[in-house]
Structure 1
């Protein structure tokens, strides 16, 4: 926590606010936090943004690559059922909160912005009564950490209407400017060359979040012959811990497997249709760029992924398949006819226009800076 300052010192502090973002664990938490960080720096180039994370999270790769300092704290995983870990939880929470509070004091935090997950809960508890808190919830069904944080937050921002948090303000999900400003048509040739895809074939983008999705991997790779016979090229991100072996079909458009997509903007530009999970971040991005999608909601949790994707389905911008129903035969029956129907793809793309909040990053950044007194 910043020490009280007076006169010119206080003015200097306000000219250079310190924003701490807590959104570690998965890309769905980290990417909105980084999009917010970028927006804060655009609005206040003199600001300092510090990210909180854990030693095992994906933030260890993503945060430094975007140029922001990362402070590691002990995670606080919350067991869903009674386990021996539940007995040890109070001690873990106390230790994590103490270490998080030390970080906030050392960096001179003026505001803490949480995006949910293991990192957010200790950040909220450490900041409570000391540093203003802003909560951002991406899903319609809020997670436990954000339910706790919202109780004593200065401002609560949500992605969609109807999110049951107190004082909720609908702002959308902060997205990278490389996504919200993406001209898919202008980048298509470059994107397909970048990935080694056929420059002219209808192209399917396949991904399952930052870690991949085994059911999607198996279903789409199992339909490789159907896709090849239909003249469809494929860019398939299978996840860094998974492997994918796909038969090659000479003379047909390439099926390109990759562990992870560093350039999602180019991946979106290369594609005509995506088949993917329907995490809040994914839904926001594909609708923002106007990419028709076949959503396969993650079959665990409280059903938030199905809820995330439903508005796009209702708008005619996406289809939805239950994970249990996904198979190579379903891909051949549903996805192949879609990817190869240019008129239908164009109509679905147009239906996505206007669904998102393209300025969510700067809207949230202004809320954060105001909470910081900057």
Structure 2
């Protein structure tokens, strides 16, 4: 018998692609015969990340989206029609059983193309939903969220789907290997600093200025400064790199994190049990602060406004924390307890049940959706 055919739509940025691929991996783990097809465009990271994970990629015309449902959307009928038509071709060609979207300019045509044809599942990563998911949620069969109270109809909190290399990470077992990999001291506290693939100027500047005090306190620093960012001046105990490919080893090497508060960042850092100082982006709709609020409320981190991240604040927040093993352990446990490490598996099961292909035995995680 042919396995279920699932189409994922999470192209554009890593924040959309990574949870989509995590769910795809989880579906395959539950149903090895499942057929997964990814929708994407030539823009963004689609053509790089998706084929590298072994999934076929079907390209559709990009549909640039306004941040809010304004008249701008109505000025794109030709692009929308072309993208929706292409989506429907793909759905028919792969005999799709469901479309699972994760927001962004790939998801909106996917939702519109699937409407009335195949079941739709929406996953929203952020505390404030984007336009594509606001539209898709209106007629979706399942609306899953990474954090509570997004305002989407029928939302079910499942958490952020993450790679198994993160959710199954044993930091203690990998600690020595990870530190050797990066050339960090085998003993003593390590601070991990990162701000995304492009870096974060505020974090880079504050860390560079605070570095002498951190090093005097015996704290080593692993700093991903971004492709366009500047590292701190060279120093013993400091490693500055543009980008970290092995984030699993970076997490294993670290004792605490200084980072932004994007949805994936917050989910990964809390899932591996690392306390963090979260510095939300100062622009946008304020979603980054909301993303970090649950883990901060649980005691797994602190929020610092971008404007308040001075070198003195870096030192005052992190030096006492990194020299207090009990506090580190308590904050790490609180961070882990606030997360949803099983989110990819839970959402995969929900999708498979929706298409009548759930593996046996069915688990308790399915009950809330069935009883809606």
* TM-score scaled by length of structure 1: 0.90
Q: Offset of 1:283 from its aligned partner?
A: 1.3
- Relative contact order (C-alpha < 8 Å, sep 6+): which is higher? 1
- Counterpart position of 1:125: 112
Aligned length: 357
Q: Does 1:340 align with 2:327?
A: no
1:88 CA drift (Å): 4.2
Q: Does 1:100 align with 2:83?
A: no
Structure 1 residue 237 corresponds to structure 2 residue 220: no
Task: Note the C-alpha offset of 1:356.
Answer: 1.8
CA distance in 2, matches of 1:71, 1:201: 48
Matches for 1:197-212 after TM superposition, within 5 Å: 197-212=184-199
Runs (4+) off by over 6 Å: 81-85
2:266 corresponds to: 283
Equivalent position of 2:135 in the other structure: 148
Is contact 1:287–1:353 with CA below 8 Å preserved after alignment? yes
1:155-196 CA distance string (max 9 Å, x none):
111223323222222211111111111111110001111111
Partner of 2:245: 262
| 1:360 equivalent in alignment to 2:347 | no
Cα RMSD after superposing both structures: 2.0
What are the superposed Cα offsets for residues 291-334 of structure 1, whole Å, 9 maximum, x if unpaired?
Answer: 00000111222211111111111111101111121232322232
Instruction: Show the counterpart of 1:180.
Output: 167
Select which of 332, 338, 352 maps to 1:349. Answer: 332
Distance in 1 (CA, whole Å) between partners of 2:7 and 2:269 is 28
Asked if structure 1 preserves the Cα contact closer than 8 Å seen for 2:270 and 2:336, the reply is yes
CA distance in 1 between counterparts of 2:42 and 2:259 reads 27
CA distance in 2, matches of 1:332, 1:322: 15
* 2:212 is aligned with 1:225: yes
Equivalent residue number for residue 369 of structure 1: 352
Q: What is the CA-CA distance between 1:87 and the residue it aligns to? A: 6.8
In structure 1, the residue matched to 2:312 is 329
**Where in structure 2 are there 5+ consecutive unaligned residues?**
358-372
Distance 1:231 1:281 in 2: 30
Does 1:213 pair with 2:206? no
Match of 1:248 in 2: 234
| Cα drift, residue 229 of structure 1 | 1.8
Give the secondary structure class of the aligned counterpart of 1:109.
coil
Q: Helix, strand or coil: the match of 2:338? A: coil
Give the distance between the partners of 2:153 and 2:58, measured in 1 at CA. 29
| 1:9-158 alignment, distance < 5 Å | 12=1, 15-80=2-67, 88-158=75-145
Q: Which runs of 5+ in 1 are unaligned?
A: 1-11
For the 8 Å contact 2:5–2:98, the answer to whether it is kept is yes
User: CA distance change for structure 1 residues 288 and 78 in 2, over 3 Å: closer, same or farther?
Assistant: same
Output the CA distance in 1 between the equivalents of 2:127 and 2:187.
Answer: 38
* TM-score normalised to structure 2 length: 0.90
2:180 is the alignment partner of 1:193 = yes
